[in-house]
Amino acid sequence: MSGTVVIEGPTTLTCDVLVIGTGAGGASCAASLADAGVDVLMLEEGPYVPAEVAPRGLAEALPTLWRGGGLTATLGGTPIAFAEGRCVGGSTEINSAIFQRAPDEVIEHWAQAHDLPDFSPQALSPLYDRAAASVNASLTPGPLGPPTDILQRAAQAMGWNTTALERARRESSSPRHQVSGFATGAKQSMSATLIPRALARTARLVANCRVDRLIVEKRRVTGAVATASDSQGRRHRVRVNASQLFLCAGTTQTPSILRRSGHRKNIGLSFQVHPTIRVLATFSEPVNAQRHELPLVAVTEFMPALRFGGSVFTLSAFGLAVAEDWPVRKRYLPDFAHCAMYYAMIRPDGVGRIRTVPGLAEPILRYQLTERDWRRLRDGLALLVRALLAAGATRVIPSMRGHPGWTDADRVEPDLRYGLLRDRVALMTIHLFASCPMGRDAELFPVDPWGRLAGIDNVIVADGSVLPGAPGVNPQATIMALAYRATDNYLSARR
Amino acid sequence: MVAIDAMIDALLPEWPALPPERRMCVSADCTRFVRRQIALSPAHIRFGIHVLFVAFCLFAFLRLGARPLGSVPRERRTLALRAFAREQVAPLVALERVLRSMTIVAYLEHADVLAAIAEAPLSASDPLHVEQ
């Protein structure tokens, strides 16, 4: 009964609980439901690429695992390039597997601002523990290499606090997950952990199956209409009948599915990202970042408003940074062994909107940074550049077109006194959330504190979209914790 | 060579040096990859890429004369592309950046290029320590 389902023609499937999406939220829900013996069917828009055959380079990963082949960006004043997974396991298959809990003050702020009962650092702690155990979140043993040492040294030079980063990993000598910044160790994404666990129990999975719309009758969803692609690329209509829906399609797709299904109230009006600016730092001594773990320390001195960390460094990832401003940076390409990449990431005030357009498969995302966000990015960039120069960087080049980089820390503040050049800066993010935020007031928030969708009786939303706002850290742990919370609440009501 | 293939070919880095026949082979593989990536991109972004590509073709037509882009020597195509991006109109720069990003990913993960990098001596010019 359990296992993957192959679609070869028009099909009607029936299940007790339908889970749409298999990322951090969907996989956590499906595994918990399967543990409880519930008949679960998972639908995933992208392909199933089991961990043992995961792509080893970006050129293979981008078309296979990334939404839109990685060519996705928000529109608005300054476009922000964003990355989302589109495969079984969702974004956990393409991220760096950093596992961080939301800071206590952020959780307390969410609880107060959104009137969330039983929502405190203490209440969420066991859920975070469960999420950590699911993916074996742990510190990477042994020397971590120059990229980490440089950031540590930069923080020490400035007198800043740092935190060692846990990752979803297990010991292995395989270099398979280098594309995610692993020098050694196997990444514990959803396709390596909770998806196989759910499939080994009572869950079924249909991959390459995109949900077109939900079937809504009165105040209940009775199923979904989807389009599945078979191994020959032929498309087949699939209808799924279910008595309960867990909608976990991710921050951009969950609001899209709801809007396509005619449910629009407060949906997709408040999504947020962590705007991030990257710098490329050069050193006189070899760093050989491509041979080491990505920096596994974060500067937490200015958390939650601002955080510094390090980027995955493979030759092609470095090439992407060089391509941002080819005329200025192309000369660094042959000296990749002397370079490393770091970033400043802010917790923003700005919000965006997610809209669906008839005829377009993908939603349009608009996002606008506030003046305070721009100031934070500017301040973050200035601090990061000064710290890296203090740590021995010979030059630090920001993601600003035409900028030759700084070699002298005293030049940074004067050069940035008028702020960032908004038409030249390249911003990016891999963290998206809060497009259907949870809150007590059904007039203001589309989802209640346990993820139940307002206006429909049998839909629970459990993915990045329900986060009340920006956590200031990688959201995977929080998504998993809130998915466990929503599933536990559902299962206890069901008994 | 059709126009977009000629454009992608012009975006290939000079480093590492490859024998001409290897380079042609790498160029063809990179072009296939970039075309596929464009096809996978969201429709509104793909539309933008196509519009900007038409703009570049018009620009190249005026700058390089009325002949197919593929028949223009690579160096001149590269110069035209550079001049196009130098117009400093954000969308024009964005087109160049998107195509170059995808080209460079395919290029730097190509087996022939990786083999050439492994054989190449470290940069003699040491560009990190000039123009301080």
DSSP β-ladder status, A276-282 and A395-398: antiparallel
Contact residues for A459 (Cβ-Cβ < 8 A; gap 6+): A214, A221, A245, A246, A247, A452, A453
Asked whether the predicted pLDDT for residue B79 surpasses 70, the reply is yes
B105 and A62 within 8 Å at the Cβ level: the answer is yes
A335 and B123 within 8 Å at the Cβ level: the answer is yes
Contact residues for A237 (Cβ-Cβ < 8 A; gap 6+): A10, A11, A225, A226, A227
Q: In the prediction, which pLDDT does B124 show?
A: 42
Q: In the prediction, which pLDDT does A171 show?
A: 86
Alpha carbon distance B35, B7 (integer Å) = 12
Catalytic residues of A: 431
Residue length of chain B: 132
B117 and A315 within 8 Å at the Cβ level: the answer is yes
- A304 and A478 Cβ atoms separated by less than 8 Å: no
Of A68, A333, A364, the CB nearest to B15: A333
Of A282, A320, A357, the CB nearest to B101: A320
Lowest mean pLDDT among A350-359, A444-453, B72-81, B108-117: B72-81
Residue whose token pair is 């998806």: A195
Neighbours of A47 (CB within 10 A): 13
Helix (H) or strand (E) holding A17: strand A11-20
Q: Which residues of B touch A46 (CB under 8 A)?
A: none
Q: In angstroms, how far apart are the furthest CA atoms of chain B?
A: 45
Q: In the prediction, which pLDDT does A27 show?
A: 98
R_g (Cα) of chain A, nearest Å: 22
Report how many Cβ contacts below 8 Å link chain A to chain B: 112
CA-based nearest residue in chain B for residue A365: B44
Q: In the prediction, which pLDDT does B125 show?
A: 42
- Token pair, residue B86, equals 């130098």
Q: In the prediction, which pLDDT does A177 show?
A: 78
Alpha carbon distance A467, A460 (integer Å) = 13
Alpha carbon distance A214, B92 (integer Å) = 40
Q: Is A406 an interface residue toward B (CB < 8 Å)?
A: no
Indicate the SS3 state at residue A407: coil
Nearest to A193 by CA among A69, A30, A400: A30
Q: In the prediction, which pLDDT does B88 show?
A: 63
Alpha carbon distance A74, A367 (integer Å) = 6
ipTM, 2 dp: 0.93
Residue extents of the structural domains in chain B: 3-12+19-115
- A131 and A480 Cβ atoms separated by less than 8 Å: yes
pLDDT digits (tens, 9 = 90+) for A201-255: 999 999 999 999 999 999 999 999 999 999 899 999 999 999 999 999 999 999 9
Alpha carbon distance A240, A11 (integer Å) = 8
Helix, strand and coil content of chain B, in percent to the nearest 5, comes to 75, 0, 25
Distances (CA, A) of A319 to A398, B87, B116: 15, 23, 16
- A416 and A381 Cβ atoms separated by less than 8 Å: yes
Q: In the prediction, which pLDDT does B122 show?
A: 56
Q: Which residues of B touch A (CB under 8 A)?
A: 13, 15-16, 33, 36-45, 82, 85, 90, 93-94, 96-98, 100-110, 114, 117, 120, 122-123, 126-129, 131-132
B101 and A315 within 8 Å at the Cβ level: the answer is no
- Token pair, residue A430, equals 């891999």
Residue extents of the structural domains in chain A: 1-48+87-136+188-270+433-495, 67-83+139-170+275-430
Q: Quick one: pLDDT band at residue B60, thresholds 50, 70, 90?
A: confident
Alpha carbon distance A385, A378 (integer Å) = 11
Domain A1-48+87-136+188-270+433-495 in CATH 3.50.50.60? The answer is yes
Which regions of chain A are under pLDDT 70?
1, 175
- A81 and A63 Cβ atoms separated by less than 8 Å: no
Chain-wide mean pLDDT for chain B? 83
